[in-house]
Structure 1
Amino acid sequence: MRIDLAGRTALVTGSSQGIGLAIATGLAAAGAAVVLTGRSEERLRAAAGGVDGEVRWVAADLTTGDGHARLVEEVPAVDVLVNNLGVFGAADPLTTGDDEWRRYFETNVLTAVRLTRHYLPGMVERGWGRVQYTSSDSAVVTPAEMIHYGVTKTALLGVHRGFAKAAAGTGVTVNSVLAGPTRTGGVEEFVRQLIPGDLPWEEAQQRFMREHRPQSLLGRLIEPEEIANMCCYLASPLASATTGAAVRVDGGYVDAILP
């Protein structure tokens, strides 16, 4: 299959590193003009330097009204929107306060809702577009050590399904990607939180998967590029009949026979 996104503009939120940067890199390789977003101008500049293709960036805190306004002013329309921005971390569910719950919802859910409200009407008017949300296996298998995170990822499944219905029959597709445990800088820190000591990384990773993610059929952390491959497919014309779907790239972590 040849994925061709030439002439399309793609916006990937939370794309200065990790899964977001891998998705942006893949979209650029497919010919899209890519916009990176994040809070740090310096990190975005460094990230853009590693992307082969047409790329620019907008530094903005999308959890704020000013940051959202700045982004949509500089990038008024896109063909592909990948809502990847998110935060995660382990926390005692019995002591996680309201402010932290609100921060997770604001970052992981409401930023995506605002951007979808802005960009989806233009896609519908043009008769073509792709909206994606980076969800997680935690949306289905709520982790005891980060309930507040899992619940926000569950919320995204409802968000994407609803917006897919709003775009029904227009040529615009709306989907979520359920990413499994993926090797990023943040996840490496998370693994170190749960696996104490100074074990070599490979040993710490294997112990993390064995003790905390034993359901994984892959038996290892997923690489960001493996998530990006699915996102690039869903962004392409080849995925025209896939909408309203929660597509799994979870290494078989979710124990279910349905997607």
Structure 2
Amino acid sequence: MLLLPSAGMLDAVTHPHRTRRRLNSTALACAAVALCLVSAGCAEYRDGDSMARDAATAEAKSLNESLGHRSRARDAEYIAATEILEEANGSASDVRREPLAWSGRTTGGQQATIDVRFVATVEEDSGNTFGDLGNSAGQATRCYRYLLELYRYTSFEEIDCPSVATPPVPTAAPIPTLPDDARDRLTAALRTATPDTLANRVRAAFPEKHVIVDTVTHENALVTAVGVPAERDCLLLVRTPDGAIESPGYDRIWLEPGEIGCRTGLYVSPPR
């Protein structure tokens, strides 16, 4: 089989000077591209404002995910203070969260509403790293409204940012719980109680209105349950016929809404 020389091969043989010029031009072009990539002046900067808008949007979505499913009754201000403001203060992100307004409560058929402003800042980057185009400085402000309901996932939507120069600071009121010395109080009440005085002694030991009290005498044992149902907070103690104070175990799922709750039934008639 006869192989014929290509046009490029013939050109290289008949015009070697032309081929050298072509190769030199190609080399110079490649060098120019490489120099452009590592030179900040040649690189086309990314738009910092656009990057900031994307960062603010991403932070808003991240907050919606962290607020997530609501399983406790809470005031909107409490959520704003503990899950938005405090989390933002501990974040290393370049996006600042600012709660602007809040109302309502996640309980029953109510809804909590929280408006949040996100201020994103992007610093200028000259793109000195090979392949990094760099970016201009930029800033963006976006606002979102979060809707929270009990036993539902949080939803959010973008809103127009109000002209609030200095937003108010939410504060978190203490959540009602059993007192720290609840076990000592209940133990003392049980030691001196009789079946007839049990209910009064336990209630006297827990005068707090948010604490529920349930007592019963069962097979010569004094059974007591005190707790804060909304917080699934419960203390169950039993004084046995021989005078010992015991703390029976139980599945905490029984404290959930629709179950027994913090009642003496946790001991007397537990679910099977």
As a proportion of its length, which structure holds more strand? Answer: 2
As a proportion of its length, which structure holds more helix? Answer: 1
Scaled to the shorter chain, the TM-score interval is: under 0.3
Structure number with bigger Rg: 2
Higher relative contact order (CA 8 A, sep 6+): 1
| TM superposition score normalised by structure 2 | 0.21
